[in-house]
C-alpha cells in the first residue's frame, strides 16, 4: 500500500469520527416512518379488481360497474392488476373443504348512496373562515372539531352542530413552552374533553367541560427520556381519566385534577378499552401479540389471544385479533380464541383496529382510477368514499377516529363526516 492509500485510510478513519450521532429514539423513528410509508405504499399500490366473497358475504369490487351477485360468473376473476383491497374469504369451513369462492364484480356506490343516513357533507371552513378538523362525536348531532395554529398544533376546540353547521367555541388550547408533542388524542366522556401534551421532561393531561371554560391541568407526570415521555390514547371513565405511558404503566386520575393513582399490577401494561388493560400497547418495540394478554381491571377476568406459529403483526382488541402470516395476502381477522377467521385483502396497519369490530377502510384501483372504500365486514358491503389519487398517485387514507364512530376526510371544498354508529 502506498502513501496515498495509507493517507486515504486514515482520512476515512478520522473523518468517521466527525459523523453525526444518531438520536436515542432512532429505532422508534424508523418504526414510525416504516408504518407511515407502508400505509402510503398501500395507497399507491391500491387495489383492483376482484372481490371474492364467501359464505354469502358479498364483498367487493371491481369491474366497471356494479352488477351485483352474478350466478353466471361464480368464479372470481383475479387479474394481474389486483393488488389489494376488498377481498374477504371465509374461515375454513368445519368440513375442511374450502367453500367455492364467488366473486361479485362491480364498482362500489358512493357512500352517501349506500349509507345516506350516516353521511354529513360540511363546508370545509367555519363561518369564521378557519379550516377545521373533526375529532370525535359528542352526541348524535354534535362533533368536537379543532382548528390549528400550525401543522397539528391545535389552538381552539369547537362543538360543531351537524344540522345548523354552527360552531360553538369550547376552549382555547394552550401549548406550553418547550412542548414537543402538541395536544393529542382528544377524548370525550362525562361531559368533558381530555387531551395530553408533552415536553421532553414531562407529560401533561388536560381537560375542559364541553360546555366551555378554561382547560384544567389534570396532572403533570415527570418523564424520563424515552418511552415515558408520551402516552397511549387516554380514556375517560367514571369521572376519571385513564392513561398509560407508551413504555407501560396504567394510571387513573380525577378528570378535573388530583393525584394520579397507579392501577395495581400494571407496570408494563397499557390501556386497551377500559376496564381492559393489556400487554404491548400500540407504540414502540414489542415482540409478540399486541394486547395478546388482557385483564379486566374491574372483574379480574383475563384473556389470552390464540396465536399460531408463523403469524406476524398480530394485534388484538377486546374481541377480535388481526394479523398476517407468510403466504397470506392481506390480513386475517378472527376472534381472540382463534375462531371465525376471515381474510381481508387489505393490509391493516398495527395501529388500526376494526372500528366497532366491523369497519375498516381500504384502497382499490380499477384501470387508471383508484380510490378508498369503507368496508363493513359484517355485511360485506363496501362504499366508495370518493377519494381519488392526487397528481403524484398518492391518496390520503382516512381512518376511523378513536371514538370508533367518526370517520372524516376532506373532499374538495367539503369535509365528509361519516357516523359509523348510524350504519345498521
Does position 391 bind other proteins by CB under 8 A?
A: no
Does position 225 bind other proteins by CB under 8 A?
A: no
Annotate 377-389 with DSSP letters as a single string: TTTTEEEE-----
Q: Which is nearer to other proteins, 15 or 177 (CB)?
A: 15
Sketch the per residue contact string, 307 through 336, with other proteins: x for CB under 8 A, - otherwise: -----xxxx--------x------------
Query: Which long-range contacts link 265-274 to residues 24+ away (Cβ below 8 Å)?
Result: 266/297, 269/244, 269/295, 270/232, 270/244, 270/246, 271/232, 271/233, 271/234, 271/235, 271/242, 271/243, 271/244, 272/317, 272/318, 273/235, 273/317, 273/318, 274/235, 274/237, 274/242
Q: Which is nearer to other proteins, 150 or 285 (CB)?
A: 285
Q: Which is nearer to other proteins, 15 or 127 (CB)?
A: 15
Q: What spatial distance separates the first Cα and last Cα of the chain, rounded to whole Å?
A: 78
Helix and strand element counts for the chain (H, E): 3, 29
Query: How far apart, in whole angstroms, are the C-alpha atoms of residue 415 and residue 167?
Result: 14
Instruction: Determine contact, residues 270/277, Cβ cutoff 8 Å.
Output: yes
Q: Which is nearer to other proteins, 19 or 264 (CB)?
A: 19
Three cell numbers at 310? Answer: 408463523
Does position 6 bind other proteins by CB under 8 A?
A: yes
Query: How far apart, in whole angstroms, are the C-alpha atoms of residue 240 and residue 257?
Result: 9
Task: Identify residues 23-82 at the interface with other proteins (CB under 8 A).
Answer: 23, 25-34, 37
Q: Near other proteins by CB under 8 A, which window of 10-18, 116-124, 202-210, 295-303?
A: 10-18
Task: Identify residues 232-291 at the interface with other proteins (CB under 8 A).
Answer: 284-288, 290
Q: Which is nearer to other proteins, 40 or 356 (CB)?
A: 40
Give the Å distances, CA to CA, from 217 to 19, 32, 250, 342.
Answer: 42, 29, 19, 45
Sketch the per residue contact string, 80 through 99, with other proteins: x for CB under 8 A, - otherwise: --------------------
Count, residues near other proteins per rule CB under 8 A:
44
Name the site residues for other proteins (rule: CB under 8 A): 3-23, 25-34, 37, 284-288, 290, 312-315, 324, 350
Amino acid at each position: 500500500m502506498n502513501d496515498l492509500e495509507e493517507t486515504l485510510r486514515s482520512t476515512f478513519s478520522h473523518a468517521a469520527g466527525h459523523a453525526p450521532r444518531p438520536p436515542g429514539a432512532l429505532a422508534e423513528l424508523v418504526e414510525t416512518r416504516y408504518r407511515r410509508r407502508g400505509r402510503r405504499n398501500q395507497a399507491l399500490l391500491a387495489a383492483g379488481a376482484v372481490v371474492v366473497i364467501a359464505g354469502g358475504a358479498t364483498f367487493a369490487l371491481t369491474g366497471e360497474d356494479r352488477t351485483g351477485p352474478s350466478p353466471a360468473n361464480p368464479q372470481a376473476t383475479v387479474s394481474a392488476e389486483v393488488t389489494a383491497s376488498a377481498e374477504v374469504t371465509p374461515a375454513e369451513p368445519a368440513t375442511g373443504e374450502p367453500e367455492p369462492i364467488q366473486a361479485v364484480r362491480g364498482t362500489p356506490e358512493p357512500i352517501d348512496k349506500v349509507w345516506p343516513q350516516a353521511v354529513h357533507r360540511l363546508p370545509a371552513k367555519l363561518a369564521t373562515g378557519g379550516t377545521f378538523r373533526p375529532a370525535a362525536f359528542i352526541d348524535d348531532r354534535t362533533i368536537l372539531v379543532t382548528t390549528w395554529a400550525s401543522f397539528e398544533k391545535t389552538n381552539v376546540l369547537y362543538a360543531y352542530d351537524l344540522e345548523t353547521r354552527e360552531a360553538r367555541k369550547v376552549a382555547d388550547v394552550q401549548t406550553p413552552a418547550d412542548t414537543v408533542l402538541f395536544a393529542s388524542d382528544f377524548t370525550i366522556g362525562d361531559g368533558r374533553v381530555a387531551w395530553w401534551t408533552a415536553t421532553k421532561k414531562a407529560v401533561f393531561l388536560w381537560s375542559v367541560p364541553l360546555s366551555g371554560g378554561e382547560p384544567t391541568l389534570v396532572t403533570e407526570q415527570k418523564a424520563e427520556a424515552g418511552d415515558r415521555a408520551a402516552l397511549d390514547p387516554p380514556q375517560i371513565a367514571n369521572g376519571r381519566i385513564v392513561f398509560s405511558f407508551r413504555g407501560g404503566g396504567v394510571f387513573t386520575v380525577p378528570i378535573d385534577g388530583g393525584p394520579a393513582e397507579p392501577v395495581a399490577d400494571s407496570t408494563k401494561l397499557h390501556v386497551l378499552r377500559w376496564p381492559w388493560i393489556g400487554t404491548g400497547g400500540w407504540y414502540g418495540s414489542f415482540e409478540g401479540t399486541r394486547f395478546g394478554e388482557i385483564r379486566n381491571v374491574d372483574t379480574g377476568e383475563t384473556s389470552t389471544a390464540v396465536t399460531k406459529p408463523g403469524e406476524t403483526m398480530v394485534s388484538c382488541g377486546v374481541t377480535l385479533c388481526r394479523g398476517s402470516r407468510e403466504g397470506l395476502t392481506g390480513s386475517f381477522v378472527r376472534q381472540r380464541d382463534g375462531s371465525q377467521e376471515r381474510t381481508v385483502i387489505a393490509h391493516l396497519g398495527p395501529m388500526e383496529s376494526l372500528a366497532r369490530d366491523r369497519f375498516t377502510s381500504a384502497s382499490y384501483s380499477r384501470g387508471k382510477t383508484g380510490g378508498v372504500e369503507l368496508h363493513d365486514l359484517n355485511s360485506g358491503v363496501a362504499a366508495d368514499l370518493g377519494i381519488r389519487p392526487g397528481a403524484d398517485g398518492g391518496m390520503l387514507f382516512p381512518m376511523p377516529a378513536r371514538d370508533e364512530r367518526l370517520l372524516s376526510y376532506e373532499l374538495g371544498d367539503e369535509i365528509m363526516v361519516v357516523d359509523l354508529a348510524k350504519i345498521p
